[in-house]
Amino acid sequence: MPGILVRRGEVIALRLFDVAYSIDLASAEALYAAHANARSDRSRLSQAAEKAIAFGDPPVRLRLGTIELSIGGMATDAGVSVRLYDFGAVAISLRVPVVDEEWAAFERRVEAVHAAIGPASSTIVWRDVLDRTLAIVGAALERPSPATLQEDYLIAAVHELGEPLPAAALQQQVDLTLLLSGERRALSAGEKRELLKQSYSYFDDDLVVLTWDRAFIYDPEGNPDVADVIEVANAQLLEFRYYDELLDDELPRMYDQVEAARRGRSSFAAPRFARLARSLYTLVAEVTELTEKVDNALQVTEDVYLARIYSSALELFRVPRLVAAVDRKLAIVRDTYTALYEEASSSRAELLELAIVVLIVIEIILGLARL
């Protein structure tokens, strides 16, 4: 929009992959440190007090320099960084800088980035970065997976305007719904209200607006904490999606295994029930361990503003619903394990009773033979 100049900003494209059961972060740091000209660090929120909000096990951030992208038909350098989470997720950030662009050009830049490397775009760029990363730290992955499950997010960030403006004045002068929706036509009043529902400000000159697949951040201080919190929420969404789909696949298989174990049931079924019960117990233990890591990825105590944004992002991404679905399916597996364990114990008791009866019969037969 004429009159509004984005002096300094960036468009951040995120893509997250589930690559393994877990990642040994200390090992990943060591592997990356041994790589030529490589730099890594443990992520922390820059402005929040350490005791107020912090990563559970801080992810490892790898800085991969810049790559050249074709954005809107023009060659553009984008900064590349990768975060490795201990629960097996890899988050790749491509940052396209914005310098001295009118608001309309900034909107076009956001759409051009979305078209070039957004969800509907080719995955070649992302796969190249992922492959480069895994080629270095692959040995730190425990039980690697094909990385077919992904999440995408786009963040439009403004750090400096040509003329400083309060957040309220900025919202009056520009239509953020166009930037957040990607639509070129004006939205209805109801849809605009819905799109801007998750809006937050701490000072009068900052603003965060969250939507399902995009966010707008206006922060003159250039604080990265909000973008980091949004990334963590996306990583949790990715992982709970993975475990929800894993249990969806596992439950029918479990029912088939239980039916096969019960088919032709006899007193010698105890080993079958015990083996199946052990496998189900292992599944429950593994999923519970990893979901607890995911759930504790970010610990929030005192920073009310970031906590509000983080909680809203989780709600918006429907993470609590996925957590509830995973918990329900885990409860089914636990109940099945308990039932199988009881059946195995019952089968062992029947086998013991049969052995006692056989021994008594043998004793009687031997006694009669001595007469």
Q: What is the pLDDT of residue 361?
A: 80
Among 99, 78, 201, 98, residue whose Cα is nearest residue 156 = 98
What pTM value is reported for the model?
0.84
The stretch 61-90 carries a mean pLDDT of 91
Q: What is the pLDDT of residues 308-320, one digit of tens each?
A: 999 999 999 999 8
Strands 60-71 and 207-210: unpaired
Read off the pLDDT of each residue in 174-199 and give the average, rounded to a whole number: 89
Q: Give 106: exposed, middle or buried? Use CB within 10 Å, 0-12, 13-18, 19+.
A: buried
In angstroms, the CA 68 to CA 281 distance is 48
Which pair of structure tokens corresponds to residue 312? 């809203």
Counting Cβ atoms within 10 Å, is residue 153 exposed (0-12), middle (13-18) or buried (19+)? buried
Taking 80 as the threshold, does the pLDDT of residue 182 lie above it? yes
- The band of 272, judged by pLDDT with boundaries at 50, 70 and 90, is low
Residue pair 231/312 in contact (Cβ under 8 Å)? The answer is no
Q: How far apart are CA 307 and CA 104, in angstroms?
A: 32
pLDDT at site 156: 96
Question: Would you kindly state where each structural domain of the chain is located, as residue ranges?
Answer: 5-223, 232-370
The residue to which tokens 């029918």 are assigned: 252
Provide DSSP, 96-144.
EEEEEEEHHHHHHHHHHHHHHHSTTS-SHHHHHHHHHHHHHHGGGEEEE
**Do residues 286 and 278 touch, judged by C-beta distance below 8 A?**
no
C-alpha 354/C-alpha 123 separation (Å) is 63
Average pLDDT over residues 61-83: 91
Percent of the chain past pLDDT 70, that is, above it, reads 83
DSSP state of 150: E
Contacts of 338 (CB under 8 A, 6+ apart): none
Angstrom distance (rounded) from CA 92 to CA 52? 26
Strands (E), the chain: 5-18, 20-23, 39-42, 53-55, 60-71, 74-84, 89-102, 141-144, 150-161, 199-200, 207-210, 214-218, 298-300
Burial of 344 (C-beta count, 10 Å sphere; 0-12/13-18/19+): buried
pLDDT score, position 300: 66
> What would the mean pLDDT of 168-182 be, rounded to a whole number?
91
Q: Which residues have a Cβ under 8 Å from the Cβ of 269 and sit 6 or more positions away?
A: 261, 262, 343, 344, 347
Calculate the alpha carbon distances from 330 to 21, 232, 367 in Å.
Answer: 17, 24, 55
Q: Tokens 């099945």 belong to which residue?
A: 336
State how far the Cα of 156 lies from the Cα of 274, in Å rounded to an integer. 54
What is the distance between the alpha carbons of residues 42 and 61, in angstroms, rounded to a whole number?
Answer: 6
Contacts for 144 with CB less than 8 Å, ≥ 6 apart: 19, 20, 134, 138
Q: What is the pLDDT of residues 122-138, one digit of tens each?
A: 678 999 999 999 999 99
Whether residue 1 is predicted with pLDDT greater than 50 in this model: the reply is: no
Q: Are 61 and 82 in contact (CB under 8 A)?
A: yes
Residue 52 has a pLDDT of 52
Strands 298-300 and 53-55: antiparallel
Higher pLDDT, 291 or 81: 81
List, in order, residues 6 or more apart from 190 with CB less than 8 Å away: none
Q: Please write the tens of the pLDDT for every residue from 198-213.
A: 999 999 999 999 999 9
Q: What is the mean pLDDT of the chain?
A: 84
